[in-house]
Every structure is written in structure tokens, then in C-alpha cells.
């Protein structure tokens, strides 16, 4: 009697976006970060419905100034991610976001109540 074998999918096809020469493929979850708004405006990032642990980061990408709203446990993780992605001298400023929602409750959806008989 032998061991039953099963087929396991090892990897999935990942479609990579086109990146410029100075950009690398950087996955935010490897740095413990989550990008909420990418290449946005300051007026959109000032929305108070975001979690209060989100940071605003100003950086330069191909000569353009950009703003992202990103969650991270530590600022150093955020800096490392953008430094690795866009290169040295790209990160201009990191500041607190304008969110007011508790991070534990952000994105929480209350379960539907079942009808009582």
C-alpha cells in the first residue's frame, strides 16, 4: 500500500505591469505595508474615513511628484519599500494621514442579522 499522491499548484501566473528602468517589482506585503491610494491627490487623501495608522508619502517617480496613502507598522518599512521601488533620493517626505477610523474597525462589515421567527 502506497501513499496517495495529490496534485498541488505550485504557482500562479502573475501578470506584471510595465515598469520603467528605475522601478522594480516590489510587493507591499513583503514589507508589511498596504497601499490604500496610489498616485493620488492630497484632497482625496484627506478623507477621514481611512484608518488612523495610514501615512502620506511624497516621492518622485520619473520626474513627477506623487503622493500615496499607505499603511505600515513602522515608518522604516514604508521608507524601505519606496526606496527599493523607486531608488535613492525618491522619498521626499513621510507624514501622518488624516484618517480617523480605528485600524481594527476599518473595513469591518457588520454581519447580516437573520430574521427571527
Query: Which residue pairs, CB below 8 angstroms and at least 24 apart, start in 20-29?
Result: 20/62, 22/62, 22/86, 22/87, 23/61, 23/85, 23/86, 24/84, 24/85, 26/81, 26/84, 26/85, 28/70, 28/81
Residue 104, pLDDT score? 86
Is the model's pLDDT at 3 over the cut of 80?
Answer: no
Model pTM score: 0.70
In the predicted structure, residue 71 carries a pLDDT above the cut 90? yes
Q: What is the mean pLDDT of residues 11-26?
A: 51
Give residue 21's pLDDT: 52
CA–CA dist 97, 41 (Å, integer): 13
Give the mean model confidence (pLDDT) for residues 81-103. 92
pLDDT of residue 105: 86
Distance, CA of 57 to CA of 75 (rounded, Å): 10
Amino acid at each position: 500500500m502506497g501513499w496517495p499522491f495529490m496534485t498541488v499548484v505550485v504557482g500562479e501566473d502573475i501578470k506584471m505591469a510595465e515598469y520603467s528602468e528605475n522601478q522594480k517589482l516590489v510587493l507591499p506585503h513583503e514589507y508589511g505595508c498596504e497601499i490604500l491610494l496610489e498616485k493620488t491627490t492630497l484632497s482625496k487623501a484627506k478623507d477621514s474615513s481611512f484608518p488612523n495608522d495610514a501615512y502620506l508619502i511624497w516621492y518622485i517617480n520619473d520626474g513627477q511628484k506623487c503622493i500615496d496613502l499607505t499603511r505600515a507598522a513602522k515608518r522604516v518599512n514604508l521608507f524601505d519599500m519606496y526606496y527599493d521601488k523607486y531608488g535613492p533620493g525618491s522619498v521626499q517626505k513621510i507624514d501622518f494621514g488624516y484618517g480617523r477610523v480605528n485600524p481594527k474597525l476599518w473595513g469591518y462589515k457588520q454581519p447580516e442579522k437573520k430574521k427571527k421567527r
